[in-house]
């Protein structure tokens, strides 16, 4: 296929990209034969790599049996099996699973379950869901109301009920030590302050990404933060929702990122790496007591047509098999540590890199004008898009966002598939080194012309 002159598709911008021909493992090829290393697993989705033959075989076998079974008409074997295995991986007590097709749907499901639980226990005054700023929890209006990323939310503000926010724990910007428990407690206590200011009887839940995604660029919570958050939520009867859409599935080195801190939520959501791009799939996993109260009160008033789709669940089961068979959580931890060390090496060579952070194979680096003051690069340089384009031309795919609320700052997520090897790490670092050198040269030329 050659690329048509006019595309009838539209997405976020009018930018065109080459036509994809095929993808295998960590690599993708366009129709002209150019190869790209998928250094971001798409949008942090393709955790086990592309075109895995065992996943494709499992999906073919399910397609020969059934491709759809409506959840109110039939139970299906793949959905039941995947729910049981997901519950076994989740924290104790979280053993009720509601399948969806993506992360936004999973977040919508979680806040609707939380609200119906409040009604079921006679706490109808609770409706506020506190989140962090910046944050990203999805693009539907309910999930967007929880999102702290102004370029995505402001156009729709009149259509949404505003939800309270607290600052994300960006210790690296505030000059605080993330290894000091006092730092973690400082940021966590902002939640308690917000609950008290809003009125505890009005606060329904707090939703948090365990390791930050696109909005904060692989932000890892300071020491003591998640434990204190759990204590505060329990003290005020506020449900704790873990957004593991990006982290769930092993990317951080544990199947759920919560396992790093041994903190259990009341509800968690997962998608992206759950079926690793082989089929649209996500899930809300809730504590059995919450679900029991909602069902006893008349049932969960919510649903999606493709919830529990047998083909998607068959893909999810095969992905779980692959993660366990190939020890991919362990590989994400070890290969991630190697990659993080190499990114730190790049920071030592390029003063434009102000911070390297992340866990496992969910990593990021941030570009700055001044490392000492963490001053962002001038907004008009558009470094967040320019470096992505340069790397793309060099055959490396990375993912970027604006760090400071969406309007300034530049961070880049480096999150290759969990099958990545040290050789792939070397290739990623070489591509980044070349691309950063070109970016710095371009900025130097621009400033020379202005000067």
pTM score > 0.75 for this model?
Answer: yes
The whole-number average pLDDT for the span 301-325 is 97
Closest listed residue to residue 401, CA positions, set 367, 438, 373, 435: 367
Q: Which of 15-24, 271-280, 319-328, 347-356 has the lowest mean pLDDT?
A: 15-24
Residue 451, pLDDT above cutoff 70:
no
The alpha carbon dihedral of 90, 365, 435, 383 has a sign of positive
Percent of the chain's residues with pLDDT above 70:
98
CA-nearest of 417, 117, 99 to 281 is 99
pLDDT value, residue 405: 80
Q: What local confidence, expressed as pLDDT, does residue 446 receive?
A: 80
Percent of the chain with pLDDT over 90: 92
**CA 248/CA 416 separation, integer angstroms:** 15
Region 237-252: what's the mean pLDDT?
A: 98
The 8-class DSSP code of residue 96 comes to: E
Cβ partners under 8 Å of residue 106, min gap 6: 100, 138, 245, 269, 270, 271, 282, 283, 284
Question: 352-387, pLDDT tens digit by residue?
Answer: 999 999 999 999 999 999 999 999 999 999 999 999
Please report the DSSP string for 276-329 in residue order: TTSS--EEEEEEHHHHHHHHHTT------TTTT-HHHHHHHHHHHHHHHHTTHH
pLDDT confidence band for 447 (50 / 70 / 90): confident
pLDDT band at residue 5 using 50, 70 and 90 as cut-offs: confident
Residue 1 pLDDT: 63
pLDDT, residue 12, reads: 65
Neighbour order of strands in the sheet with 27-30: 20-24, 27-30, 35-38, 396-397
User: What pLDDT, in 10s, does the model give residues 380-409?
Assistant: 999 999 999 999 999 999 999 998 888 899
Q: What is the pLDDT of residues 273-283, one digit of tens each?
A: 999 999 999 99
Q: Note the pLDDT of residue 161.
A: 93
Distance, in Å, from the CA atom of 411 to the CA atom of 400, rounded to the nearest integer, reads: 6
From 7-21, 246-260, 427-441, the region with the lowest mean pLDDT: 7-21
Instruction: Give the C-alpha separation, 162 to 17, whole Å.
Output: 36
- Classified as helix, coil or strand, 393 is helix
pLDDT of residue 141: 96
**pLDDT tops 70 at residue 303:** yes
pLDDT of residue 10: 79
pLDDT digits (tens, 9 = 90+) for 32-89: 999 999 999 999 999 999 999 999 999 999 999 999 999 889 999 999 999 999 999 9
Mean pLDDT score, 416-441 = 98
| Residue pLDDT, tens place only, 88-111 | 999 999 999 999 999 999 999 999
8 Å CB contact between 229 and 208:
yes
Three-state DSSP class for residue 167: strand
Residues with Cβ < 8 Å from 64, sequence gap 6 or more? none
- Residue 6: count other Cβ atoms within 10 Å of its Cβ: 4
Strand partners, 205: 129, 239
Q: What is the pLDDT of residue 436?
A: 98
Strand partners, 36: 28
Q: Are 407 and 358 in contact (CB under 8 A)?
A: no
Phi-psi region of 244 (alpha: psi -120 to 50; beta: other; left: phi over 0): alpha
E strand or H helix that includes residue 356 = strand 353-359
- Written as six digits, the tokens of 332 are 């994400």
**Torsion angles phi and psi, residue 244, rounded to 5:** -110, 30
Task: Give, as one character, the DSSP assignment of residue 129.
Answer: E
Q: What is the mean pLDDT of the chain?
A: 96
Contact between 117 and 86 (Cβ < 8 Å): no
pLDDT tens sequence across 118-167 = 999 999 999 999 999 999 999 999 999 999 999 999 999 999 998 999 99
Question: Which residues are CB-neighbours of 423 under 8 A, at least 6 positions away?
Answer: none
């Amino acid at each position: 296929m050659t690329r048509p002159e006019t595309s009838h598709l539209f997405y976020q911008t009018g930018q065109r990209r080459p036509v994809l021909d095929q993808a295998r493992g960590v690599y993708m090829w366009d129709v002209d034969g150019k190869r790209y290393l998928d250094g971001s697993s798409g949008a942090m989705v393709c955790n086990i790599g592309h075109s895995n033959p065992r996943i494709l075989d499992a999906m073919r076998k399910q397609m020969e049996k059934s491709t759809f079974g409506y959840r109110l008409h039939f139970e299906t074997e793949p959905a039941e099996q995947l729910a049981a295995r997901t519950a076994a991986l989740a924290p104790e007590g979280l053993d009720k699973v509601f399948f969806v097709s993506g992360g936004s749907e999973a977040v919508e499901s979680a806040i609707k379950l939380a609200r119906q639980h409040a009604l079921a226990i006679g706490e109808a005054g609770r409706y506020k869901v506190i989140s962090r700023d910046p944050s990203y929890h999805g693009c539907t209006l309910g999930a967007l109301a929880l999102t702290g990323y102004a370029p995505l939310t402001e156009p729709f503000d009149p259509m949404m009920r505003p939800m309270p926010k607290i600052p994300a724990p960006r210790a690296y910007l505030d000059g605080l030590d993330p290894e000091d428990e006092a730092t973690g407690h400082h940021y966590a206590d902002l939640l308690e302050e917000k609950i008290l200011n809003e009125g505890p009887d009005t606060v329904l839940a707090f939703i948090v990404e365990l390791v930050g995604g696109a909005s904060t660029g692989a932000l890892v919570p300071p020491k003591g933060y998640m434990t204190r958050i759990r204590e505060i939520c329990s003290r005020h009867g506020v449900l704790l929702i873990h957004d593991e859409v990006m982290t769930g599935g092993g990317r951080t080195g544990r199947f759920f990122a919560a396992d790093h801190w041994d903190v259990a939520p009341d509800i968690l959501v997962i998608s992206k790496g759950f079926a690793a791009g082989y089929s649209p799939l996500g899930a809300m996993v809730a504590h059995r007591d919450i679900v029991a109260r909602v069902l006893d009160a008349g049932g969960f008033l919510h649903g999606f047509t493709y919830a529990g789709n047998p083909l998607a669940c068959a893909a999810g089961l095969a992905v779980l098999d692959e993660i366990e068979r190939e020890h991919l959580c362990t590989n994400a931890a070890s290969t991630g540590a190697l990659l993080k060390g190499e990114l730190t090496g790049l920071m030592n060579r390029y003063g434009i890199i102000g911070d390297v952070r992340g866990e496992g194979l969910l990593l990021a680096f941030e570009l700055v004008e001044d490392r000492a003051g963490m001053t962002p690069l001038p907004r008009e340089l558009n470094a967040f898009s320019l470096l992505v384009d340069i790397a793309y031309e060099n055959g490396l795919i990375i993912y970027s966002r604006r760090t400071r609320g969406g309007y300034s700052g530049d961070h880049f997520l480096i999150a290759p598939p969990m099958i990545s090897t040290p050789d792939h790490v070397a290739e990623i670092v070489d591509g980044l080194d070349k691309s950063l050198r070109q970016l710095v040269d371009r900025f130097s030329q621009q400033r020379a012309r202005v000067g």
